[in-house]
């Protein structure tokens, strides 16, 4: 990152950017690049270390250099312990750096704790990808609660779609605090694909089915049933299922036991972002319980089957680019086979437009921050947004 430049004789405003997981890095990288290119802001990158092993190699490849890296992870720790360590560590960083604003993204523990630590230090918060809601407070758990809580501490709500913005306004967020920008994940996806970075992990010339499974609510018996369904799908004979396995033992043990010896299933460790996007571009169909993949796949014309009972991204279902098929094995199997066997149905989904923007979200975010930060910053908490207004 470049050194701060003078603006009318003053240093650039310091924007602390908090991230700790790979999806946060992916979605905040365009924002950091846009901040760094601006004469008005100095980005201060803070890595919470939430997913250290998976995150740090990608930070390097995305040209992101944290100024601070926390050491908060403990083996099999409870969310309460992680939350306490994050708030304490981030509070110390903010007191040291004295940023003018704090930027968080999405709905992770790093997001919630970054906003809470900023609020305690009376620093205004900008929330990238604001307004996503499943409508069920504990589904997905704990992400749905995290994003609702963050909204109560946010000054700038950068919503990826008009639907997300409408939800925020319906919850009482002042309209002038809500800004529709598109989703920064599209900015980064297009940035990576233009560079032709990454290598597909598919091994054969069969029709590629890319699968991601990791949600807490899908673990245990439900994941065992999903693994059996993937086994049935692989035995069609004309597909290769690629499944990057999450490092969590609750996920890894089930999937490796059920699918490790299937000849038409390729299990890998977590792919780096660049190889994942190359694999996404190479596949024919996506099955996922991830949120981010629901956004990325339609931009590459890949139909998505969402293996969940709810989604906080209903726009992609409404657009026809994804289907919410639930978690029952027969429903998943039938939906996947239908798309693989019906070219017209497949093409209808592949041709559906992406509702998540045009790749200029980060530019819009920095433009809005520039406009608002020319004046004194308001108090970070909106007085008419209450924790009970759900």
Q: Give per-residue pLDDT as tens, 20-47.
A: 998 899 999 999 999 999 999 999 999 9
Segment 363-379 mean pLDDT: 80
pLDDT of 129 > 50? The answer is yes
Calpha distance 332→226 (Å, rounded): 8
Calpha distance 303→19 (Å, rounded): 29
Rounding to the nearest 10 degrees, give the CA dihedral for residues 54, 181, 278, 322: 100
pLDDT of 382 > 80? The answer is no
Nearest alpha carbon to residue 225 among 336, 136, 331: 331
Q: How confident is the model at residue 52 (pLDDT cuts 50, 70, 90)?
A: confident
Q: H helices then E strands: how many in the chain?
A: 15, 13
Whole-number average pLDDT of the chain: 90
Length of the chain in terms of residues written:
390
pLDDT, tens digit, 9 for 90 and up, residues 145-198: 999 999 999 999 999 999 999 999 999 999 999 999 999 999 999 999 999 889
- Do 322 and 350 meet the contact criterion of CB atoms below 8 Å apart? no
pLDDT, tens digit, 9 for 90 and up, residues 256-296: 999 999 999 999 998 988 999 999 999 999 999 988 899 99
- Classify residue 38 as left (phi > 0), alpha (psi -120 to 50) or beta: beta
Q: How confident is the model at residue 57 (pLDDT cuts 50, 70, 90)?
A: confident
pLDDT of residue 375: 54
pLDDT of residue 374: 65
Q: How confident is the model at residue 342 (pLDDT cuts 50, 70, 90)?
A: very high
Percent of the chain with pLDDT strictly greater than 90: 75
Nearest alpha carbon to residue 162 among 182, 142, 191: 182
Contacts of 181 (CB under 8 A, 6+ apart): 158, 159, 160, 357, 361, 364, 365, 368
**SS3 state of residue 125:** strand
Q: Give backbone dihedrals phi and psi of 2, rounded to 5 degrees, phi first.
A: -80, 165
Q: How confident is the model at residue 250 (pLDDT cuts 50, 70, 90)?
A: confident
Calpha distance 270→174 (Å, rounded): 40
Integer-rounded Cα radius of gyration of the chain = 21
pLDDT of 248 > 90? The answer is no
Helix axes 221-234, 329-341, angle to 10 degrees: 30
pLDDT of residue 77: 81
pLDDT of 378 > 60? The answer is no
- Do 17 and 44 meet the contact criterion of CB atoms below 8 Å apart? yes
Segment 90-112 mean pLDDT: 97
The catalytic residues are 107, 129, 143, 214, 216, 246
Q: How confident is the model at residue 307 (pLDDT cuts 50, 70, 90)?
A: very high
Both tokens assigned to 109: 């523990």
Alpha helices (H) in 38-101, listed in sequence order? 52-61, 79-97
- Do 325 and 332 meet the contact criterion of CB atoms below 8 Å apart? yes
Residue with tokens 């004309």: 238
**SS3 state of residue 174:** coil
- Classify residue 116 as left (phi > 0), alpha (psi -120 to 50) or beta: alpha
pLDDT of 388 > 50? The answer is no
pLDDT of 217 > 90? The answer is no
pLDDT, tens digit, 9 for 90 and up, residues 67-94: 999 988 887 788 899 999 999 999 999 9
pLDDT of 387 > 80? The answer is no
- Do 41 and 366 meet the contact criterion of CB atoms below 8 Å apart? yes
pLDDT of 9 > 70? The answer is no
Residue with tokens 């490092």: 247
Both tokens assigned to 361: 């979200």
Contacts of 168 (CB under 8 A, 6+ apart): 130, 131, 151, 157, 159, 178
**SS3 state of residue 154:** coil
Segment 125-152 mean pLDDT: 94
Count CB neighbours of 331 within 10 A: 14
**SS3 state of residue 220:** coil
pLDDT of residue 157: 98
């Amino acid at each position: 990152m470049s050194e701060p430049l003078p603006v009318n004789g003053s240093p650039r405003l310091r924007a602390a950017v908090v991230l700790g997981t790979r999806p946060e890095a992916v979605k905040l990288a365009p924002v950091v690049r846009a901040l760094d290119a601006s004469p008005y802001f100095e980005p201060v990158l803070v890595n919470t270390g939430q997913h250290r092993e998976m995150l740090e190699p990608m930070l390097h490849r995305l040209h992101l250099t944290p100024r601070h890296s926390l050491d908060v992870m403990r083996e099999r720790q409870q969310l309460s312990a992680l939350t306490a360590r994050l708030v304490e560590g981030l509070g110390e960083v903010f007191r040291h750096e004295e940023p003018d604003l704090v930027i968080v993204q999405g709905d992770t523990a790093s997001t919630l704790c970054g906003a809470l630590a900023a609020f305690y230090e009376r620093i205004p918060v900008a929330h990238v990808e604001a307004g996503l809601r499943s409508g069920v407070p504990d589904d997905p758990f704990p992400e749905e609660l995290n994003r609702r809580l963050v909204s109560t501490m946010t000054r700038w709500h950068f919503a990826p779609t008009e639907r997300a913005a409408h939800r925020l306004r319906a919850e009482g967020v002042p309209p002038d605090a809500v800004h529709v920008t598109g989703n920064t994940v599209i900015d980064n996806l297009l940035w990576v694909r233009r560079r032709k970075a990454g290598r597909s992990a598919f091994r054969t010339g069969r029709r590629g089915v890319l699968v991601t499974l990791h949600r807490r609510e899908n673990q245990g018996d439900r994941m065992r049933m999903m693994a059996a369904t993937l086994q049935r799908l692989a035995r069609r004979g004309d597909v290769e299922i690629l499944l990057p396995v999450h490092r969590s033992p609750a996920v890894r043990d089930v999937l490796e036991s059920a699918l490790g010896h299937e000849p038409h299933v390729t299990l890998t460790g977590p792919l780096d972002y660049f190889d994942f996007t190359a694999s996404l571009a190479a596949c024919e169909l996506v099955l996922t319980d991830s949120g981010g993949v629901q956004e990325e796949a339609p931009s590459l014309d890949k139909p998505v089957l969402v293996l969940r009972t709810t989604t906080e991204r209903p726009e992609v279902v409404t657009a026809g680019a994804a289907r919410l098929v639930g978690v029952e094995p027969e429903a998943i199997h039938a939906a996947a086979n239908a798309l693989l066997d019906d070219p017209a149905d497949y093409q209808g989904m592949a041709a559906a437009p992406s509702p998540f923007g045009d790749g200029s979200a980060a530019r819009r975010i920095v433009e809005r921050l520039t406009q608002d930060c020319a004046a004194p910053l308001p108090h970070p908490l909106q007085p008419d947004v209450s924790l009970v207004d759900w």
